[in-house]
Amino acid sequence: MSKHSFDVAVVGGGPAGCRTAELIARSGHSVGIIEEHANIGEPMQCAGLITPRCFDILGYGRETILNEIRGADIVSPSGQFMGIGNENVRVLSIDRAAFDRKIRDKALDAGAVLASGSRVKDFQRRDGTVSLNNEEYRAKLVIGADGARSATRKWLGLEEPTFQLNGLGADISGLDMEEDRVKIFFGRDIAPNFFAWLIPAGDVTRLGLCVRGADGTANDYFKRLFKNGESSKLLAKAKVIRTHSGIIPLGMLPRTHADNGMVVGDAACQVKATSGGGIYPGLVCARHCAETAVAALEADDYSAKKLGKYHESWTTDIGDELEKALMMHRIYSDLDDAQLEDIFGMMLNPEIQEIINRVGDIDYPSRLGWTLLRKEPGLLKYTGKFLKHGILGR
């Protein structure tokens, strides 16, 4: 006999898992959230930047907002600055731990049960249901919301991410930042194949970067931010309060379901490759996942065929955008600093800046990509890269 039996076991209590659990529990089914850490939201491994859309989806949680961000100062590899933004709030800096706890509370209010401090290590299909950790838990359906290194994904036999970004972030003090602007630093010596950031977050500033295919570790590049270039001038009086690290999985999984299971959030690589943001896509896909789970429970059918509706519905919704963001990331990764500087120069044109301010949207980056490609003939010399990575070929 299992110690705990549920209709659905959600492995992982991050935003994607707790939101999926909340939506399933709301429809009256029993849901257990199994989380390896003692406290939801800890350790925090995030820059905490999301769009207001996330709160539109949730319908709650705005008290976790720390700063409303209206613009960005972008720094090129050679140290040129470009300011973008206007009076509109583009993104929000949030207290990520409080945000995760808020979604957990809503899941518990809806009737979900939380088993914290419990790591799922073992999955066995038995009599059409699934035993977890040798009968510690039993469920008809398992939802893997267990992040980038998902054990559920492996058990279900799904593909692994194509590649990953290695991230390192810190809360720092002693920096005089405008409270409604972020700073972004580009360059192969700064953050190979990605970028570094400074984000105002209430009483502290968040400094961080991600790297991929780099000569050193994320930590090596993090230290260099204090020593070299424009960042070092800004960080001259900065004190690091705490650091965190994490990985961001990238790729498009051909399947996010199998018999008795689905994966959601980072476990399903539902991440925007241009910004590394996974909270918005995770929340979008949580709804698709919950809807398919409820339909499966009502039909008492947990076959891969039945659960395939989930893969179909989330890819129809945002799969195309995530795929385009992945291509944009690949194109960006092909550029050297001289090419980045060239593109940066084109972006300084006031007409282009007006487009960036009007069309730019970190949740849907391809809209800006397309518009710029049509507007700025100078970008056409990079057409080969666009073709190579499929944007124009689609």
Ligand X SMILES: Cc1cc2nc3c(=O)[nH]c(=O)nc-3n(C[C@H](O)[C@H](O)[C@H](O)COP(=O)(O)OP(=O)(O)OC[C@H]3O[C@@H](n4cnc5c(N)ncnc54)[C@H](O)[C@@H]3O)c2cc1C
Name the token pair of 49: 């930047």
Q: Are 235 and 200 in contact (CB under 8 A)?
A: no
Tell me how far, at minimum, the Cβ of 342 lies from ligand X, in Å: 28
Residues linked to residue 69 through DSSP beta bridges, in sequence order? 91
Segment contacting ligand X by CB under 6 A, of 42-50, 177-185, 293-301, 371-379: 42-50
| Strand 137-144 relative to strand 261-263, pairing | parallel
Instruction: Please report whether residue 246 would count as binding ligand X according to CB under 6 A.
Output: yes
Burial letters for 292-315: b for 16+ Cβ neighbours within 10 Å, e otherwise?
A: bbbebbeeeebeeebbbbbbebbb
Residue 282 binds ligand X, judged by CB under 6 A: yes
Q: Contact between 120 and ligand X (CB under 6 A)?
A: yes
Select the residue interacting with ligand X from 200, 208, 229, 365 (CB under 6 A).
208
Coil, strand, or helix at residue 380?
Answer: helix
Q: How is residue 42 written in tokens?
A: 């800890």
| Candidate list 8, 23, 29, 45; residue touching ligand X; CB under 6 A | 45
Among 6, 9, 10, 13, binds ligand X (CB under 6 A): 13
Which of 32, 77, 85, 167 binds ligand X (CB under 6 A)? It is 167
Interface residue with ligand X among 190, 279, 325, 391 (CB under 6 A) is 279
The strand pairing partners of 108, in sequence order, are none
Q: What interhelical angle do 365-375 and 320-334 show, nearest 10? A: 60
Vertex 364: Cα angle to 58 and 43 (nearest 5): 50
Q: Would you say 268 or 372 has its CB closer to ligand X?
A: 268
* Smallest distance, ligand X to C-beta of residue 337, A: 23
Using CB under 6 A as the binding rule, whether residue 235 contacts ligand X is answered as no
- Judged by CB under 6 A, the residue of 9, 31, 49, 290 near ligand X is 49
Q: Where are the alpha helices (DSSP H) in the chain?
A: 15-26, 53-58, 96-109, 151-155, 218-227, 229-234, 279-299, 304-314, 320-334, 337-347, 350-359, 365-375, 383-388
Q: Which of 85, 187, 229, 278 binds ligand X (CB under 6 A)?
A: 278
Distance CA 174, CA 177 (A): 9
Near ligand X by CB under 6 A: residue from 36, 135, 321, 323: 36
Question: What are the residue ranges of helices labelled H in 126-244?
Answer: 151-155, 218-227, 229-234
Q: Verify binding: residue 72, ligand X, rule CB under 6 A.
A: no
Q: Which is nearer to ligand X, 201 or 343 (CB)?
A: 201
Q: Which residue is nearest to ligand X (CB)?
A: 278
Nearer to ligand X, 48 or 161 (CB): 48
The one among 24, 92, 145, 368 contacting ligand X by CB under 6 A: 145
Q: Please check whether residue 290 is in contact with residue 23, taking contact to mean a CB–CB distance below 8 angstroms.
A: yes
Nearest CB to ligand X, comparing residues 8 and 352: 8
Residue 196 found at the interface with ligand X (CB under 6 A) = no
Q: What is the C-alpha to C-alpha distance for residues 9 and 127, in angstroms, rounded to an integer?
A: 16
Q: Select from 119, 242, 374, 381 the one that contacts ligand X (CB under 6 A).
A: 119
- Is there binding between residue 68 and ligand X (CB under 6 A)? no
Smallest separation, CB 77 to ligand X (Å): 21
Judged by CB under 6 A, the chain residues 351 through 370 that form the site for ligand X are none
Cβ-contact 76, 348 below 8 angstroms: no
296 in contact with ligand X (CB under 6 A): no
10 Å Cβ neighbour count for 241?
13
Count of alpha carbons within 13 angstroms of residue 284, beta-carbon side: 24
**Residues touching ligand X, count (CB under 6 A):** 38
Would you tell me which residues interact with ligand X (CB under 6 A)? 11-17, 34-37, 45-50, 119-120, 145-147, 151, 167, 169, 208, 246, 248, 265-267, 271, 276-280, 282
